[in-house]
Copies of this chain bind each other. A is one copy, B any other.
Amino acid sequence: MDDLLAQLRAGLPAEALITDPDVTVSYANDMASFCEAGTPSVVVLPRTVEHVQHVMRTATALRVPVVPQGARTGLSGAANASDGCIVLSLTKMDRILEINPVDRIAVVEPGVINAALSRAVGEQGLYYPPDPSSWEMCTIGGNIGTASGGLCCVKYGVTAEYVLGLDVVLADGRLLTTGRRTAKGVAGYDLTRLFVGSEGSLGIVVKAVLALRPQPPQQLVLAAEFASAAAACDAVCRIMERGHTPSLLELMDRTTIRAVNAMANMGLPDTTEALLLAAFDTPDPAADLAAVGELCTAAGATEVVPAEDAAESELLLQARRLSLTALETIKSATMIDDVCVPRSRLAEMLDGTAAIAGKYDLTIGVCAHAGDGNTHPVVCFDQADPDESRRARESFDEIMALGLELGGTITGEHGVGTLKKEWLSRELGPVGLELQRGIKRTFDPLGLLNPGKLF
């Protein structure tokens, strides 16, 4: 330990090191429940690529595990410390290095906050779509580590689709550049994409070239109420089948609506079973909303309310963005699931989740990126009650099993971390898992990078 600190100090400024255990312990966790976390030896806050290289060379020399972290807003324990590790917090490497409107790219350090980038590119008429709910806090590096999604994905896709190239410090401290600044490129295997979603287990991202889009028009939102989740899902299928391209298509169930009303007094229709929010950022959003409103009515919507302006739209989005936080107030703890199914199976997923809630006698609120088939069942429970905690964990697993049964995945956008690592092998199967482990060994033969995550 003294050796580790001495060697780290040799290549880092004093202010880059935190050794006070009262402080380092605050870096032990991300935002996932039920995920074990160890005690870090030291927290390092590098400001340069050379700092990161020094940390990795030291870690390799002394065989010390390294856990990279962004803002620790993750929901799967992927950023949790392991015992004796170096926590490598990239939050101080937070410069936007370049915004280029002709090439439509931004070059950033990993600690840049998602919202800061969105605003900076917005000032130049550009748009960086990925918008996880934590966008005001989370970092681009963390978004890359988990391949984050958000509300935008139904039209604009996930983080992975916006990462063109990376600078990565490898486990042994060498610097790797992947990808490109160009719109296209097929020179060799796509290492860039391999790092996206790798949860810090293959290398430390120290720079990213990101693709941007032109800023779309302000979106307009429609809210539609349904007497059942299945009817709302039917509307989702009709909307997508008819070739509409909403900029978001979100679902909140009754539990979620009530929780949001209770927390923020938003006046959502809390006697309804499911609320669907659809938005368009097209040249004529009102026309698109009218067409989608008709499809909702045909699917059995009891009420269809298009927002009249940006302010009304923003209010509805606020309600959706508050959903997770609001559901967290129901009990002392929550487990947030992240099962994504083909959208044609969404109704089965929601009805099945309701059945699981009944079976385990639990409150499970669901909000969903419905257009993507990506559900977030939030299992609410009392951590002080061992039996309820056990039932929560079991229901959480049963929800994943249902997702796989419906042709889905255990994680649409939150990642595997420690929370779902037993489930990863179930989804990938033995052949896939063997190859994934082989890739891990190729990049990190000593197994120092974020050990115990993913696999």
A443 touches B (CB below 8 Å): yes
Residue A410 contacts which of B149, B187, B440 (CB distance < 8 angstroms)? Answer: B187
Docked complex: A285-302 residues within 8 A CB-CB of B = none
Q: Are B104 and A186 in contact (CB under 8 A)?
A: no
By beta carbon, the residue of chain B nearest A182 is B340
Residue A125 contacts which of B243, B342, B442 (CB distance < 8 angstroms)? Answer: B243
Copies, count = 2
Chain B residues near A197 (CB, 8 Å)? 186, 188-190
By beta carbon, the residue of chain B nearest A146 is B186
Q: Are A439 and B186 in contact (CB under 8 A)?
A: no
Q: How large is the interface on A (under 10, 10 to 19, 20 to 34, 35 or more residues)?
A: 35 or more
Q: Are A439 and B436 in contact (CB under 8 A)?
A: no
Q: Are B431 and A442 in contact (CB under 8 A)?
A: no
Stretch of A95-103, A221-229, A304-312, A384-392 that contacts chain B: A95-103
Stretch of A252-260, A267-275, A413-421 that contacts chain B: A413-421
Chain B residues near A341 (CB, 8 Å)? 182
Q: Offer 28 A-B interface pairs, CB within 8 angstroms, sorted by A.
A: A102-B344, A103-B343, A103-B373, A147-B190, A160-B193, A175-B431, A176-B431, A176-B435, A177-B429, A177-B432, A178-B432, A181-B408, A182-B342, A182-B408, A183-B343, A183-B374, A184-B369, A184-B373, A184-B374, A185-B411, A187-B411, A187-B420, A187-B424, A187-B428, A191-B436, A283-B283, A439-B442, A442-B442
- For the complex of A and B, 7 pairs with smallest distance between CB atoms: A214-B243, A438-B442, A185-B409, A183-B372, A193-B193, A184-B412, A102-B344
